[in-house]
Amino acid sequence: MNTIYNFSAGPAMIPQDVLNQAKQELQNWQNLGFSIMEISHRSKEFIEVAEQAEQDLRDLLHIPDFYKVLFCQGGARGQFSAVPINLLGNLKTADYIDSGYWSKSAFIEAKKYCIPNSISIKEQINGKTSLLSMSQWDVNKKSAYIHYCPNETIDGLSIYEEPKFKDKIIIGDFSSCILSRSINIENYDLIYAGAQKNIGPAGITIIIIRENLIGYTSKISPSILDYKIISEYNSMFNTPPTFAWYLSGLVFKWLKRKGGLKKIEELNQIKSHLLYEKIDKSNFYINTIDDKNRSKMNVVFNLVDPNLNEIFLKESFESGLIALKGHSIIGGMRASIYNAMPLEGIQSLIKFMSYFENRYG
């Protein structure tokens, strides 16, 4: 049997080392005779796991002390609501940068709480999709914050520039690119990310927030979305998804063993470069995104002849290359190549693409 490589966009691949460790300790965690899923989140054993995971995340991203790290539920979509609830204050509008499906979805949810300002930054230049650079973003003086999505998981579009807006609160939906490269946390006020793309299991959402922004909800805000309450209870106001928290912690340790974000960033650069190079060199596959905005996590591409899509998906699947189908709203193909995808997976995909092209091209 071929080695299986899973290109799912999310829930996505988890490092084999991490799964092996979880398997080994599943039924007898820390010699307690039962699993980590079966102990209280308030036990000293679990609190140690939770605190260690936070510390490892802080180390990986160099998170300063004046930022809080919260572990929540409700996914990134929960944050689409939590962000306006916590950060609008008395203001009536907020800027939502529109770069694709997910940033647009955040905007639509925000309409329940304010009159958000949607700022489209997509443009077509010589048949390529490109995103305006930050200096060209038409932000509004009266907005409470600027929300944007540095990696559009479905569209395969990325923003690598770091935000530097004077006197503006900057919020980033990092769901599909957190921990894929090093960033300067201080350029952001709030970062959130669902774990199921580039960390591990679904069910936990990570929030990194500048401490002084906590505490501005109104009386009717749901407690479970209130950063102040979550923070006061050390992310245990309600029962947290303990297994997902533990497994995320194992992934953070794995990242540290791999050499941290500098190393992972180099590897992600190599992996995505190989794949885009393969696409660009052929007349059979195509990607029409401007180089500077190409995602290193979600590589979207089309077959020039869409009649071959079904057979491409069937044969790639049979070769052990799983979940290459693009999202239904975009069509075509998408290879999600998060941190857990080894270089061999990319090489295997490229080999298959060449074989397929030779056969049907």
Please tell me the distance from the alpha carbon of residue 287 to that of residue 238, in angstroms, as a whole number: 44
- Residue 210 annotated as lining a ligand binding site: no
Q: What share of the chain is helix, strand, coil (3-state, %, to 5)?
A: 40, 15, 40
Kindly state the tokens that stand for 197.
């793309």
- Residue 124 annotated as lining a ligand binding site: no
Q: Which residues are known to be catalytic? A: 102, 173, 197
Kindly state the tokens that stand for 91.
């203001």
CB of 247 to ligand PLP, least distance (A): 16
CB of 319 to ligand PLP, least distance (A): 27
Please give the residue whose beta carbon sits closest to ligand PLP in the complex: 75
CB of 221 to ligand PLP, least distance (A): 19
- Residue 153 annotated as lining a ligand binding site: yes
Nearer to ligand PLP, 72 or 144 (CB): 72
CB of 63 to ligand PLP, least distance (A): 20
Nearer to ligand PLP, 116 or 348 (CB): 116
- Residue 42 annotated as lining a ligand binding site: yes
- Residue 288 annotated as lining a ligand binding site: no
Binding site for ligand PLP (CB under 6 A): 10, 75-77, 102, 149, 153, 173, 175-176, 194, 197
E strands within the chain?
A: 5-6, 67-72, 95-98, 117-120, 122-125, 128-131, 146-148, 151-152, 157-158, 170-173, 190-194, 205-210, 285-286, 298-303, 321-322, 333-336
- Residue 202 annotated as lining a ligand binding site: no
Nearer to ligand PLP, 175 or 180 (CB): 175
Nearer to ligand PLP, 13 or 303 (CB): 13
Please tell me the distance from the alpha carbon of residue 349 to that of residue 322, in angstroms, as a whole number: 10
E strands within 54-165?
A: 67-72, 95-98, 117-120, 122-125, 128-131, 146-148, 151-152, 157-158
Please tell me the distance from the alpha carbon of residue 175 to that of residue 77, in angstroms, as a whole number: 10
- Does a cis peptide bond (omega within 30 degrees of 0) precede residue 11? yes
Nearer to ligand PLP, 18 or 244 (CB): 244
CA-based end-to-end distance of the chain: 27
CB of 120 to ligand PLP, least distance (A): 17
Please tell me the distance from the alpha carbon of residue 193 to that of residue 209, in angstroms, as a whole number: 12
Binding-site positions for L-glutamate = 42
Binding site listing for pyridoxal 5'-phosphate: 76-77, 102, 153, 173, 196, 238-239
